Homo-oligomer: A and B are copies of this chain.
Amino acid sequence: MKKRIAIDMDEVIADFNAKHLRVFNRDYNENFTVNDLQGTRLRELRPHLKNEITAYLNDPAFFRDLDVMRDSQKVIKQLSEQYEIFITTAAMEFPASFTSKYEWLKEQFPFLNEMNFVFCGDKSVIRADYLIDDNSRHFQRFEGQGILFTAPHNVNETGYVRVNNWLEVRNYFL
């Protein structure tokens, strides 16, 4: 039986930060780049705008046009030949995102079966051999092997298997 890899969306296959910074910089006349997010988050850099920063994610369209992370399509296509691939995203945190996330996946990863999409909250409910995610909290109760995908906010975290990009994911699995 094929081993199963569960893969997160935001900051793993979908370039969440690029869009979030773009709309925030536009609306607040700022010039943040991903370099400013190393080891932190936008809402920690501008705590007085925390609600506004989060509110972008309640826009149903926000997640529809995110860029796809470099090499993720070709590597996941290769992985899908030897592994069972599930996309597991904590969409319940932003229910307005459901349709955009679904349509985005169908568009960017047409070779995946939508029966393998999982919109959840607490990822301890996921049964898989591996979980590739940028949020290490999801590994705490996960029974398989957690693999931390480098994102600005997690660069200082240690103690996890880490991959920095999709070519490193390929090297890990293939």
* Chain A residues at the B interface, C-beta cutoff of 8 Å: 4, 6, 86, 88, 90-93, 95, 98-99, 102, 113-122, 124-128, 143
Contact = CB atoms under 8 A, between A and B. Distances in A.
B122 A119 contact: no
B91 A119 contact: yes
Question: 8 closest Cβ contacts across the A-B interface?
Answer: A115-B121, A127-B127, A98-B98, A119-B119, A115-B122, A118-B120, A92-B114, A95-B102
Given A98-B98, A99-B98, A143-B127, A92 B120 contact: no
Nearest to A103: B95
B91 A95 contact: no
Contacts of A116: 121-122, 125
30 contacts: A6-B125, A86-B122, A88-B125, A90-B115, A91-B119, A92-B102, A92-B114, A92-B115, A92-B117, A93-B115, A95-B98, A95-B99, A95-B102, A95-B114, A98-B98, A98-B99, A98-B102, A99-B99, A114-B121, A115-B122, A116-B121, A116-B125, A117-B120, A117-B121, A118-B119, A118-B125, A119-B120, A124-B127, A125-B126, A126-B126
Nearest to A142: B127
A98 B124 CA distance: 21
A121 B102 CA distance: 12
Contacts of A6: 125
Contacts of A98: 95, 98-99, 102, 119
A7 B168 CA distance: 37
Given A92-B117, A95-B102, A98-B102, A125 B127 contact: yes
